[in-house]
Structure 1
């Protein structure tokens, strides 16, 4: 997972971190708008409504598929989680729980969730900090970095223990399985970036009968000494994709072997891939965003979810 020192290095390598120019790697606001971010921002203006009484807006994704978007509230043991639910306008589809990175829900993460829905999935995009705050907290990753994001989210992150994430997953799976747009005959996928990469492992451990695919994108803390280390709780019935950045691999080169050995021990299929890009490369508004390598990781993720 990225830390303040790593973010400082990302900013140094990317140049200016202003909202209009995040350096060569990041998808800046002008580019984001050109790819449909402006329309997504307009859609975010709608209020939070219940799943059974909402005005869902149909939008067009890059694939040309019509996607329905709705703001939902999901009861959990800790309270009520706010989330956005995206799914193709017609039919039933495999569900994906797609958590954002440390900067939480924002237009860039929402665009990624919407794109995945356009590929034929029912995508739940939860606020990872709902125990502390509701809704969007930062306009983009530049805002997170320029507005003391680490200090702000620190207390919120502490509440997301492995047990808390697993409890959330159970609630999310139950909610998803009650939705008309979800094909309950298919498995559920989990997707996480940065701090939430490890959450995909916890999701599979929480509901192994339903969560059948876990994709961690530059996830942190996958191999630790804790009894609850993600690599210690892998499930035989879940397929895993672990996409590692080159700088994270340099810091913990032994993690690759530990993950593969842990998967083999329980008979879980796994792909561990080190990409020639830095931490955060898959996230649209990250200063480390690398479009070419992000598209490769996206294709690998879709191949994983095709098996649901």
Structure 2
């Protein structure tokens, strides 16, 4: 457990417990995270810790405290029955009031920035996040994952008054069947500040790691969209371009492995897609950087930026890498002896951040073009090219379709 438990004063004068995860910055915008029907369990604490890595100070209130304090259930059949019984006896109106109390307590903490507040929720918490966004004016952004029963509370949307609402819906969710989902889309889809996303082919709880219905692509996309909405509304505003430049500087200029790793989260990963080189986790990635990358690159290796797209939590970089193959390059040409050949190759990097730290790199390039340029692949009769791919990226007036034998045959054909 990375965070700690704190007490929250209820409107009645009683107190209830909440898990507090503090922003990686020591102080950040505040989010109240609303539980699934299983209480404040490990899954909810993990979500809070993840959001704290993203820069938020997160409070996860025990919303079952009136029925039973300290509910922390797993996902066994027995625990599901107990969770469903608690859910059936849950009072939503009092739950929203407890969220209000939690927001007030959160805002009073030194770890929380004075400013806009958000609410994020899953399952039962997904609907509560929606209701909190509608009923509580202090909620600037509400994010709900597969909320159950929202279709019965669409009239509440009048209270949004243009504040930001993001709902993630699962196409195969039996708790929100197609008719319910259609009602939600029809009732909320045209309102200002509302973002609705339907994830095809996934079921309820698709964003719960280790769950039976976990779908990593959908979960990652939903998280990216959630962070984008929270960033726009609450902050924090990180200069991802500067953070990325600092990382690159230590990789290619100072060639300082500890400084490179210091720009990354505690357990980062790097994947060079064509050759599947890199590393997962601090220890493996540090080893890779130290012995197979940072000190393993040709001295004349250089990057020429072409374009950069900066999102809420990731960067997509387009660039040309040039080098002389005068040493073995483990990560790009593993096991290939130096050829002395000059290489120019277009590359693409998808760089993901968590808060102010780099989380992962996905690096793409055309390995066939590299092999052509160092003389290991004869391009004759193959739809591959060498350094021409880099030249055409720099100068779009270079001829197109030179690899298409049929190109000349269409010259005199009508359009």
The alignment status of 1:176 with 2:106, answered yes or no, reads yes
Cα-to-partner distance string for 1:230-253 (whole Å, 9 max, x where unaligned): x22120232111111121279632
Q: What's the counterpart of residue 221 of structure 2?
A: 296
1:141 to 75, 92, 99: 75
Q: Distance in 2 between matches of 1:74 and 1:119?
A: 24
Q: What's the counterpart of residue 128 of structure 1?
A: 63
Q: What's the counterpart of residue 126 of structure 2?
A: 197
What runs of 5+ residues in structure 2 fail to find an aligned partner?
234-415
Q: What's the counterpart of residue 335 of structure 2?
A: none
When the two structures are superposed, what TM-score results if normalisation uses the length of structure 1? 0.68
Q: Distance in 1 between matches of 2:58 and 2:133?
A: 16
Verify the 8 A CA contact 2:24 2:53 in the aligned structure 1. no
Q: What's the counterpart of residue 146 of structure 2?
A: 218
Cα-to-partner distance string for 1:65-102 (whole Å, 9 max, x where unaligned): xxxx2211112135322111111254431111112211
Distance 1:120 1:277, change over 3 A: same
RCO comparison, higher one (Cα < 8 Å, 6+): 1
- Give 1:199 deviation, angstroms: 0.2
Verify the 8 A CA contact 2:7 2:15 in the aligned structure 1. yes
Which is richer in strand?
2
- Higher-Rg structure is 2
Moved more, 167-176 or 70-79: 70-79
Cα-to-partner distance string for 1:176-209 (whole Å, 9 max, x where unaligned): 1111111222x2111111122110111113322x
Verify the 8 A CA contact 2:118 2:141 in the aligned structure 1. yes
Q: Distance in 1 between matches of 2:202 and 2:232?
A: 27
Distance 1:195 1:251, change over 3 A: closer
Q: Distance in 2 between matches of 1:275 and 1:262?
A: 20
Verify the 8 A CA contact 1:84 1:126 in the aligned structure 2. yes
Cα-to-partner distance string for 1:243-266 (whole Å, 9 max, x where unaligned): 111212796324444334433675
3-state SS of 1:88 partner = coil
Q: CA RMSD in A?
A: 2.3
Q: What's the counterpart of residue 157 of structure 1?
A: 87
What runs of 5+ residues in structure 1 fail to find an aligned partner?
1-39, 41-58, 60-68
Q: Distance in 1 between matches of 2:175 and 2:88?
A: 26
When the two structures are superposed, what TM-score results if normalisation uses the length of structure 2? 0.51
Q: What's the counterpart of residue 9 of structure 2?
A: 75
Verify the 8 A CA contact 2:171 2:198 in the aligned structure 1. no
Q: Distance in 1 between matches of 2:98 and 2:175?
A: 32
Across the two proteins, how many residue pairs are aligned to each other? Answer: 230
